[in-house]
Amino acid sequence: MQLIVTAVGAHPSTMIEELSRAIGDCRCSVAEARMTDLGGDLAAYFLAEGNWNHIARLETALESLTNRLNWKLRTHRVEDVPQDQVDMIPYTVDIYAPEQPGVLHEIVSFFSFHDVQIHDVSVSRYEAPFSGSPLFTAHLIVKVPSSIRVISLRDEFLDFCDHTNLDAIMEPIKR
């Protein structure tokens, strides 16, 4: 059984320590974790695994942590992976562009329209080294159904990028 734990709060090093201790103390393990500093607070995502009894114990332990340390915390039990998600091919998409309002929405809408699932998104904004202009960068991991012709999808995506002034690369994930 799996449990998604999302947490936001102050004291980043304390949060990581407390959450990982609670997971271990409840005899669960961490399958995946992502953490980042956002505006001085920590946003953390954990995927904990264990049997149903250990997951229930972890949910109780996390409630007491939330109350004691004044964090925003949510949990969600994960359902079994649907069979239609098994036959997917993972691709990585890297996008660079001048900052434009709504650019992320346009990118997500493109993939949604083509029934491509977005598995992971990382977006940031930074200033160009010489001009100081705001630039947008995004890294996505998408899952393409095996029924879709990837060459056609890639061509349509690159045309989309040309029309929206994006520089992008879409390639299979190499492990």
Q: Which domains does the chain have, with CATH numbers?
A: 2-77 (3.30.70.260), 85-172 (3.30.70.260)
- Looking at residue 165, the DSSP 8-state letter turns out to be T
Inter-axis angle of helices 12-25 and 52-69, nearest 10: 150
Burial 7-46 (b: 16+ CB within 10 A, else e): bebeebeebbebbeebbeebebeeeeeeeeeeeebbbbeb
* pLDDT tens string 123-154: 988 888 888 889 999 999 999 998 999 999 99
Polymer length in residues for the chain: 175
pLDDT of residue 58: 93
The per-residue pLDDT for range 92-119, each reduced to its tens digit, is: 999 999 888 889 999 999 999 999 999 8
Mean pLDDT of the chain: 88
Residue with tokens 């200033």: 127
Least confident of 9-13, 28-32, 59-63, 70-74: 9-13
Residue carrying the six token digits 């005899």: 27
Instruction: Provide the H-helix boundaries in 70-163.
Output: 103-113, 150-163
Per-residue pLDDT tens digits for 48-97: 999 999 999 999 999 888 888 888 889 999 876 555 556 788 999 999 99
Q: For residue 169, what pLDDT is reported?
A: 94
The tally of CA atoms less than 13 A away on the side-chain side of residue 10 is 3
Neighbours of 107 (CB within 10 A): 25
